[in-house]
């Protein structure tokens, strides 16, 4: 689906949308940090994101990689910038061919600037954004939707603001679908810009570009560089607090949320945030505007679907990768048929390796190693390891090797139970609460949009000792509604189900549709997942310590001795999964 179709979808239901812009970092560490940020901000469900393109194609490889990964692994609709100055025909074709082959369907067509110093810049095949749009349309037809830039205060090279809008009209007539404006702080400039656009017959969506003020120095440099008009009231508010970074940031959020509300009242269809690859100010602004209340329920599935062609209709996944969705996508990227590629045929392909997953694995980065040592410490006992798991459930730390994202909102229903499990030697890595007919627009467990009902079987997955496992296997004999499957790193397996068992643990009922069962517990997939799950003990945790140190030996021992266990309470109405565990006496 092109971005214009998504914009029109929001217009049809009368809701504003928001979108984010990112730029390619210059270092590998910066790229890794951006991937983490993309992961978190994808959970806000933006209408789209856009990735910038360096002058003369200087960031071409990184821009293309970022754009592809954002669609593939984070389920984001991506618009890739493309500039024509300093770009040969060969380079333009290569960029667009790669974008097309990666499933990118929207391009921000810009003239761009020459690289600083203009050194080594080859002649430009195309020298204006209008000609770039026409060339794309001529050579790629309707493969790409096209966006263009707009300038509320006028382009520096334009003779006048009216002349600038006349040029914008030519870009729209050449085939642009919508306009994203240059950033501004004077709302009157945007209002007058809309009036000038209407006067010349521009009727496509015009999205205001917004930059939250994060620090005074950065704000000052930005406004001086761009020559943007800053209302006196903003200067008056900033001057007394210019040396207090926290107060400046808080003022920036207040100003940004106020501006956004006024822009929407002026008829803006949505809001485009220049994030500068940062997240907190943008997120707080959206929270103040109550635009995040239904972000989870905007998903069609409990998980973020990949936007890659061939996977858009995927509607079932094993639950084991719920907290490592990018890993699941990487391992199944070569599958040629979704959803039936895995679940509909005994001849379906097997899971691939994690060879394509390198960009998300950061264990050798010194900064990452230092951060993980702060999170997990250097444990000397199994209790200290268990404390790290309990702290993750409590939100005191935000990352474990098995959990790419912080604790999900639905987990708030069972946090105290999970903490108790961890304190008693059941190291939890995945779970979901029991749900019986919750509204599909419920903020914590909802998905699929309003009007339906959500059901979940209680599920918990953990590592534990053989002693604890044997006790559970005895107790499960007295609880027939509960199923259990355990396996060690060496492959020693115990299960109350057969090897072919596949059980739905999440489903949704919606008017006029068949029952949707997006999440399953599958015995075969669990055996594949266990290899990855156990490897993470060694590759992500043990690797932090010197060989044969006390912590190194402790993690090695847990890896070798513990079992990976999943437990399902099949009675989603009256069941109690935690009564299986000895630490919940009396339940």
So which residues are the catalytic ones? Answer: 21
Distance CA 164, CA 410 (A): 50
> Do 314 and 305 meet the contact criterion of CB atoms below 8 Å apart?
yes
What does DSSP say about strands 502-509 and 453-456: parallel, antiparallel, or unpaired? antiparallel
Cβ–Cβ < 8 Å for 52, 20: no
> Cα separation of 163 and 466, whole Å?
76
Q: Judging by DSSP bridges, how do beta strands 78-83 and 516-522 pair with one another?
A: unpaired
Q: How far apart are the first and last CA of the chain?
A: 49
Q: Which regions of 465-552 does DSSP assign to beta strands (E)?
A: 482-488, 493-495, 502-509, 516-522
The span from the CA of 446 to the CA of 451, in Å, is: 11
Q: Maximum Cα–Cα distance for the chain, whole Å? A: 83
Q: Hey, what's the torsion of the CAs at 22, 23, 27, 33, to 10 degrees?
A: 0
- Residue identified by tokens 């029991």 is 434
Is residue 445 a contact partner of residue 455, using CB atoms and an 8 Å limit? no
Q: What is the DSSP letter of 301?
A: S
CA distance 186 to 154: 13
107 phi, psi to nearest 5 deg: -125, 135
Cis status, amide bond into 339, omega within 30 of 0: yes
Contact 352, 334 (CB under 8 A): yes
How many CB atoms are located within 10 Å of the residue 499 CB? 10
Q: Where are the alpha helices (DSSP H) in 103-200?
A: 129-140, 161-174, 187-199
Nearest to 373 by CA among 572, 215, 176, 552: 552
CA distance 563 to 566: 10
Are residues 238 and 192 in contact, defined by beta-carbon separation less than 8 angstroms? no
Cα(559)–Cα(542) distance, integer angstroms: 10
Residues 78 and 67: beta-carbon distance below 8 Å? yes
């Amino acid at each position: 689906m092109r971005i214009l179709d998504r914009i029109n979808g929001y217009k049809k239901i009368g809701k504003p949308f928001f979108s984010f812009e990112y730029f390619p970092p210059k270092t590998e560490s910066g790229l890794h940090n951006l991937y983490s940020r993309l992961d978190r901000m994808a959970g806000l469900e933006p209408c789209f994101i856009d990735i910038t393109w360096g002058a003369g194609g200087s960031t071409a490889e990184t821009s293309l990689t970022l754009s592809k990964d954002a669609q593939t692994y984070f389920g984001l609709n991506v618009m890739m910038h493309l500039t024509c100055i300093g770009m040969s025909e060969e380079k333009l074709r290569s960029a667009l061919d790669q974008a097309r082959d990666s499933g990118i369907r929207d391009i921000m067509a810009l003239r761009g600037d020459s690289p600083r110093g203009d050194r080594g810049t080859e002649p430009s095949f195309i020298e204006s954004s209008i000609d770039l749009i026409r060339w794309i349309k001529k050579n790629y037809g309707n493969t790409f939707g096209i966006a263009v830039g707009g300038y509320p205060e006028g382009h520096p090279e334009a003779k006048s603001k009216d002349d600038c809008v006349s040029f914008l009209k030519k870009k729209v007539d050449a085939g642009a679908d919508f306009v994203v404006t240059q950033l501004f702080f004077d709302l009157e400039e945007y209002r007058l810009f809309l009036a000038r656009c209407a006067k010349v017959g521009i009727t496509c969506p015009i999205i205001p570009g917004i930059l939250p003020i994060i620090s005074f120095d950065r704000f000052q440099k930005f406004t001086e560089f761009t020559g943007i008009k800053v209302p006196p009231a903003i200067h008056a508010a900033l001057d007394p607090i210019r040396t207090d970074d926290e107060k400046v940031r808080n003022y920036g959020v207040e100003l940004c949320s106020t501006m956004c509300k006024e822009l929407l009242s002026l008829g803006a269809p949505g809001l485009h945030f220049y994030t500068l690859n940062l997240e907190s100010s943008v997120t707080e602004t959206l929270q103040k505007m109550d635009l995040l209340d239904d972000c989870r329920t905007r998903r069609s599935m409990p998980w973020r679907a990949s936007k890659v062609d061939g996977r858009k209709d995927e509607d079932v996944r094993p639950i084991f990768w719920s907290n490592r969705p990018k890993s699941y996508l990487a391992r199944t990227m070569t599958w040629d048929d979704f959803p039936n590629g895995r679940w509909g045929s005994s001849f379906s392909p097997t899971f691939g390796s994690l060879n394509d997953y390198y960009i998300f694995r950061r264990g050798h980065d010194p900064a990452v190693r230092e951060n993980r040592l702060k999170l997990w410490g250097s444990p000397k006992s199994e209790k200290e390891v268990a404390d790290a798991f309990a702290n993750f459930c409590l939100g005191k730390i935000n990352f474990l090797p098995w959990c790419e994202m912080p604790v999900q909102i639905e987990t708030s229903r069972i946090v105290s139970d999970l903490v108790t499990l961890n304190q008693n030697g059941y190291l939890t890595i995945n779970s979901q609460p029991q749900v019986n007919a919750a509204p599909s627009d419920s903020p914590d467990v909802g998905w699929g949009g309003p009007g339906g009902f959500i059901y979940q079987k209680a599920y918990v997955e953990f590592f534990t000792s053989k002693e604890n496992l044997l006790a559970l296997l005895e107790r499960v004999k007295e609880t027939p509604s509960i199923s259990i499957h355990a396996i060690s790193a060496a492959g020693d397996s115990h299960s109350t189900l057969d090897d072919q068992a596949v059980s739905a643990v999440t489903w949704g009922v919606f008017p006029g549709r068949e029952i949707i069962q997006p999440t399953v517990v599958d015995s075969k997939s669990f055996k594949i997942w266990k290899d990855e799950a156990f490897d993470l003990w060694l590759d992500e945790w043990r690797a932090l310590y010197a060989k044969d140190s006390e912590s190194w030996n402790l993690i090695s021992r847990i890896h070798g001795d513990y079992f990976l266990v999943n437990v399902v309470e099949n009675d989603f109405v009256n069941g109690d999964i935690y009564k299986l565990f000895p630490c919940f006496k009396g339940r």
